Structure 1
Amino acid sequence: MGENKKPKKKLKIALVIICALIIIAIPVCYYLVYISYNHLTVNSYDINSDKINSSVKFVVIGDLHDNTFKDDDRELLKQIKEQNPDFIIADGDILNDDSENSDIAMSFIKRLVKIAPVYYALGNHELEYMENQHSEKLLDEIKSTGATLLEMEYKDIKVNGVDIRIGGMYGYAFDPNGTTKRDDMGDGIYDFLTEFEDTSSYKIMMSHRPDSFVFGEASKAWDIDLVVSSHDHGGQVIVPFLGGLYGGDQGYFPEYIHGLYKKDNMQLLITSGLGSNTQKLPRFNNVPEIMVVNLKK
């Protein structure tokens, strides 16, 4: 009789432990999702270049996805302002492809330009939003905020005595074979990149998808100092000790997902962004990021 009771007792203990772990796990998981949409972190990166003769500071934000933070984004804007940036890069997906309108995104950008000049790059959600609306009205709405919209365009600026060429391009910087042959690259991308790289200024390319430059010959072929991207939300789900779970064309546990990388002839800077649209999995253990970049000699 005693021997039969022991297995039952062990089973009860195991069930109690499992239930206790579930009870603990539920609020922990809720918290890790909550902070991934509501808390903010500021991460700073120093980049050195012989082309920089005095310090330049800029902020990178991306993937807002119509996410609104506490007090109507006041804390988000306050923290950006506290960085005292020379300019700000809004690197796409500021709204969602299925947004009813652009009001939330454009209201945010209007307040952002009061802090510093804003350079806006299109993401896949801006492009899909315009397709869904059967209109390119969004382009005029972005420009009306006072931001400088750059898509297959660039602008030469001088910041603290430093010459900078900043451009924006959503397309892939390589052809279907991974090469950079003019005849195989569509939509005038080859000509745009060739013209963009023809300067002695420090060159920053806003490319919403890091995939546009991490594959094929792109990082070897183009003379670009810094590519700034977002898109992959830092992997969406941050797995302890393993990092971001998924990254677009890069697949699971991607190599180029968040932070500063050196790849062949260029540096690649990727922000984990500020939100996400409806996904199979929510942002998890993934605090929204304000990225601060310090260009130095």
Structure 2
Amino acid sequence: MKKRGKWIVGILIFLIAIISLCYYEVYISYNKITENNYSIENKKISKDINLVIISDLHDNELGEKNKELIDKINSLSPDIILVVGDVVNSDSANSHIVTNLMKDLCKNHKVFYSLGNTDKDYIESGTSDLVKELKDVGVTVLDNEYKDIKINGNNIRIGGMYAYAFGLNGNNDVDKETMEEGVYDFLTDFQNTDNYKIMMAHRPDSFIFGNASKIWDVDLVVSGHTHGGQVRVPFKGGLYVGDQGWFPKYDKGLFDLNKIKILITSGLGSGKQKVPRFNNPPEVVNLKISTQLSN
């Protein structure tokens, strides 16, 4: 009996340790901000640009009313901030968490915003006019729109879109006739510049699938949506992304895909998912774009 009792106690201690570890990994995946840094070189850039990129807040509050998040972003001294959608949930009671955050960030920074799927669902629910509320606190919202701006002497074109950059014709070709209305013309107009071109597209699959990355002349696509695979498996990466399946290739990070560089952030939270974020801390991305040095 003594040996059996020790064995049972050992099993219980092991189970408690596993449960505690799982709880901790879920907790930090919603509360412990991590910073990830990337760099890009491009011949169109004459002086360094520092971007901060966030997405997929899903009404999460990090620190006291997102003060920790605001302090982290401010500490990075961004030239501009890109917010790539899904900051509210489709069933959010209001947009106060998001608008308060954006109002604070707009005090010292230029903030650009593109819509994600839960943003669109929230707007369609009629709860409130999210786009107007964001604009009222100083955010530049881009939905099938772009702005030409100058940053540190560099000419930059920033666009925002939610639609797919290819047609829904079975082969996912870039086909004006099967693309969502206006998208082909928008992208054609967007790429017609010598400026450095950044497209905010909440869903990275908008440029990953089909031949979009071969056709469209975009320097950088910035996305969220994947939540980094929601569950991060050690040494393997994201577990599952709806558009890509199990162990997706494009879960988070900076990728070269034909003509385009695609940066995917795992975001800052998640809505009502089947499983919680795990081993997947909220992410703030710091991207440095600098001039391309000749070899």
What TM-score does the superposition give when structure 1 sets the normalisation length? 0.94
Give the secondary structure class of the aligned counterpart of 2:65.
coil
The match for 2:195 is 201
**Partner amino acid for 1:107?**
N
Query: Is the counterpart of residue 24 in structure 1 residue 17 in structure 2?
Result: yes
Contact 2:223 2:264 in 1 (8 A): yes
**Partner amino acid for 1:80?**
I
* Alignment deviations for residues 79-116 of structure 1 (CA, whole Å, 9 cap, x no partner): 10011100000110111110011111111111111131
Q: Which runs of 5+ in 1 are unaligned?
A: none
The match for 2:49 is 56
The match for 1:87 is 80
Question: 2:242 is matched with which residue: 244, 248, 256?
Answer: 248
The match for 2:133 is 141
Query: Is the counterpart of residue 155 in structure 1 residue 147 in structure 2?
Result: yes
Deviation at 1:248, TM superposition (A): 2.3
Query: Is the counterpart of residue 212 in structure 1 residue 206 in structure 2?
Result: yes
Q: Where in structure 1 do 4 or more consecutive aligned residues deviate above 6 Å? A: none
Give the secondary structure class of the aligned counterpart of 1:168.
strand
The match for 1:286 is 280
The match for 1:78 is 71
* Alignment deviations for residues 244-297 of structure 1 (CA, whole Å, 9 cap, x no partner): 111121111111011100001100000111111111101111010110010001
Query: Is the counterpart of residue 230 in structure 1 residue 207 in structure 2?
Result: no
**Partner amino acid for 1:210?**
P
Q: What is the identity percentage for the equivalent residue pairs of Structure 1 and Structure 2?
A: 52
User: For the pair shown, which has the larger CA radius of gyration, 1 or 2?
Assistant: 1
Q: Which is worse superposed, 86-95 or 66-75? A: 66-75
Q: Distance in 1 between matches of 2:88 and 2:62?
A: 14
Q: Which runs of 5+ in 2 are unaligned?
A: none
Q: Which is worse superposed, 223-232 or 245-254? A: 245-254
Deviation at 1:32, TM superposition (A): 0.4
Query: Is the counterpart of residue 38 in structure 1 residue 35 in structure 2?
Result: no
Question: 1:276 is matched with which residue: 258, 270, 273?
Answer: 270
Q: Distance in 1 between matches of 2:214 and 2:233?
A: 31
* Alignment deviations for residues 151-201 of structure 1 (CA, whole Å, 9 cap, x no partner): 000000010000100000000011123100111112211000000000000
Give the secondary structure class of the aligned counterpart of 2:249.
coil
Q: How many residues align?
A: 289
Contact 2:114 2:160 in 1 (8 A): yes
**Partner amino acid for 1:243?**
G
Q: Aligned ranges for residues 64-143 of structure 1 at < 5 Å?
A: 64-133=57-126, 137-143=129-135
